[in-house]
A and B are shown apart, each in its own frame.
Chain A
């Protein structure tokens, strides 16, 4: 590794000073390389752990059950009306079908254990099947239904299997059923669409990120709409109009300080001012967005000012000398040239906001919101808060969900950063 240097010059040995200098050079380079390697290794380790524990959440275990939609079992007439069908106790329909399929299970608690192999959502699935297709009544169907989270954990190998029964998530009997069904091809795994569409749930196998994604998107939209125009306007004023005096210096220093304020402080501010003084609705994307825009503003202002400063003064002079007003100069010439930098800064600011948890917890965006929010005034969850809540949950099924949600948020972050790079490349102009 003697690039640029050679050990000897013209056959003569180098002086000791030279050798020492070269050694120092090599040592320094190695230290730098080591630092880069360490950082890369940690990132890879982090990603590896998350991926290995999270990828399994993207598929779900299903069991096949034979359901006899017997009008007698359902306690309805042979040609039932929709109303009758809505009143059916589908849980008991399911249980009775299980009794028919597994007549050998006699004991009450054994029967319960058998039903617990399946997801709690099975009665709902049966109901929606029958309601959408009443002609099913009177027929026998093989239906694929979600397994319970415990069965799935064992099946995926995420929960230990070879330990004593008391500490295992499934009983010995349940384990036998699982193996038996697997042997009889009564199990299958399918992609977990529900993860992207449904909201949180008490049952891990039913929980999804849909509500959190929409909540985060709405929150970010509010943040973007508030912080981008305000940040760019503030940057333009400070950079192009403000006189350079003590007041503008104080403002500048304080903006830089704001960028370093811990985010939970902004959350407290939102709680105290937005919720308590202005009485805005708790835990909504509106409040979350306002708080996050306060946090994002300094980043956008600083990035925008740097971008505006980088526009050569000769362009400004040229435009002003053509008789353009200061505003025309800014909007026709300076701003378009600064746009790539401004967009990059703004997107990075928004990406920070996307991952921010503490301020959202302060303003109450941690409630268990089962519905997907339909507007900025609905109670909502958000991605980082959902991750936090899942990480807190004790059930084993949430571990993979947490990791999978982290993967989703990372995908969003990577996507936003790629967008920043793309916009910069697209709008970059030489002068």
Chain B
């Protein structure tokens, strides 16, 4: 268990031995600012097993209010697994076991009694590959409000759909074809539609799993702008393989390596002055 204390210069001095590799360590002490004041989401000692294989080792990490937290690291390091712990999407994977404490606004969610449906209405998710439902644009956005009973009369639903599309910056492009199939949109538009779909139920947290990896640079830029806008209202965690993207959109960055959380830091600091050797290697492209 890591001592919970705000990072300070004093504590930083204690990390004299730089972590070079995690292979020989059972437990890796995370370095940096993994905790924040009044966290939106706080994770303590989260471990994940897929069957016999352990995928995450004792992760301690907070998501602050109105912040974008970037999760970086080489493929298979557990970023996505960690992300999926927060809305319990790991429940859908057979043989997956999540241990530890995960609290949203102080309420424990990693517990069999916790209601997954209401959790997922509070924690939206955007996937790597745009996955609009094969229905109309309108029905895609309206699906969440409908199943959560957020909409009353029809015109209210219209308003919700319009607001969500406007927030996602898609309204102007699709307002005249709301009832055409969503699968007819371009990849970037589909991804923004998925973001609009996620925010239509008014969540508190949005999890993004490499949302731009299937998009071209222009569409990526639009999504990044959007993420920056959304920060005003939501807490966002984004998994990305692009160091530049992490640097552009996030306030804090967490570096995962082989299931361990190696380092968490304020993004600017982390990219200019990583404290762990592993982080430095990854960021500078020597590894990963």
A320 touches B92 (CB 8 A): yes
Among B127, B148, B198, contact of A317 (Cβ-Cβ < 8 Å): B127
Known: A320-B89, A321-B87, A323-B121. A315 touches B94 (CB 8 A): no
Please give the distance in Å from B244's CB to the nearest CB on chain A. Answer: 26
Looking at A52-60, A231-239, A325-333, the stretch in contact with chain B turns out to be A325-333
A244 touches B147 (CB 8 A): no
Q: Roughly how many angstroms separate A430 CA and B125 CA in the complex, as a whole number?
A: 23
Interface size on B, residues (CB 8 A): 28
Q: Which of chain B's residues have a CB closer than 8 A to the CB of A322?
A: 120, 124, 143-144, 147, 197-198, 201
A314 interface residue per 8 A CB criterion: yes
Interface readout for B30-54 with A: 1 if CB under 8 Å, 0 if not? 0000000000000000000000000
B148 touches A323 (CB 8 A): yes
Q: Which of chain A's residues have a CB closer than 8 A to the CB of B119?
A: 323
Interface centre among A315, A319, A324, A429 (most CB of B within 10 A): A324
A431 interface residue per 8 A CB criterion: yes
Please give the distance in Å from A264's CB to the nearest CB on chain B. Answer: 40
A316 touches B143 (CB 8 A): no
Q: Which of chain B's residues have a CB closer than 8 A to the CB of A333?
A: 133
B87 touches A319 (CB 8 A): no
Q: Which of chain B's residues have a CB closer than 8 A to the CB of A321?
A: 87, 89, 120, 124-125, 127, 198
Q: Which of chain A's residues have a CB closer than 8 A to the CB of B248?
A: none
Interface readout for A131-149 with B: 1 if CB under 8 Å, 0 if not? 0000000000000000000
Near A by CB (< 8 A), chain B positions 66-89 give 87, 89
B121 touches A430 (CB 8 A): no
A318 touches B183 (CB 8 A): no
Nearest CB to that of A333 among chain B residues? Answer: B133
B167 interface residue per 8 A CB criterion: no
A80 interface residue per 8 A CB criterion: no
Q: Roughly how many angstroms separate A289 CA and B144 CA in the complex, as a whole number?
A: 42
A430 touches B143 (CB 8 A): no
A337 interface residue per 8 A CB criterion: yes
Nearest CB to that of B87 among chain A residues? Answer: A321
A243 interface residue per 8 A CB criterion: yes
Interface readout for B111-136 with A: 1 if CB under 8 Å, 0 if not? 00000111111001101010111100
A318 touches B148 (CB 8 A): no
B94 touches A430 (CB 8 A): no
B92 touches A323 (CB 8 A): no
Nearest CB to that of B182 among chain A residues? Answer: A431
Q: Which of chain B's residues have a CB closer than 8 A to the CB of A324?
A: 117, 143, 147
Q: Roughly how many angstroms separate A430 CA and B121 CA in the complex, as a whole number?
A: 27
Q: Roughly how many angstroms separate A431 CA and B133 CA in the complex, as a whole number?
A: 7
Q: Roughly how many angstroms separate A92 CA and B27 CA in the complex, as a whole number?
A: 109
A318 touches B120 (CB 8 A): no
Among B94, B116, B117, B124, contact of A243 (Cβ-Cβ < 8 Å): B94
Nearest CB to that of B124 among chain A residues? Answer: A321
Q: Roughly how many angstroms separate A321 CA and B92 CA in the complex, as a whole number?
A: 10
A317 touches B92 (CB 8 A): yes
Interface centre among B94, B134, B148, B197 (most CB of A within 10 A): B134
Nearest CB to that of B148 among chain A residues? Answer: A323
Please give the distance in Å from A405's CB to the nearest CB on chain B. Answer: 44
B197 touches A430 (CB 8 A): no
Q: Roughly how many angstroms separate A324 CA and B201 CA in the complex, as a whole number?
A: 12
Q: Which of chain B's residues have a CB closer than 8 A to the CB of A323?
A: 116-121, 144, 147-148, 201
Nearest CB to that of A430 among chain B residues? Answer: B183
Q: Roughly how many angstroms separate A281 CA and B82 CA in the complex, as a whole number?
A: 62
Please give the distance in Å from A13's CB to the nearest CB on chain B. Answer: 50
B56 interface residue per 8 A CB criterion: no
Q: Which of chain A's residues have a CB closer than 8 A to the CB of B197?
A: 318, 322
Near B by CB (< 8 A), chain A positions 331-347 give 332-333, 337
B144 touches A429 (CB 8 A): no
List 9 extra interface pairs beyond A320-B120, A323-B144, CB under 8 A: A314-B129, A317-B127, A321-B125, A323-B116, A323-B118, A323-B120, A324-B147, A332-B147, A430-B183
9 contacts between A and B (CB under 8 A): A312-B131, A314-B129, A317-B92, A319-B133, A321-B125, A323-B201, A324-B143, A328-B147, A429-B134
Interfacial residues, chain A to chain B (CB-CB below 8 A):
243-244, 312, 314-325, 328, 332-333, 337, 429-431
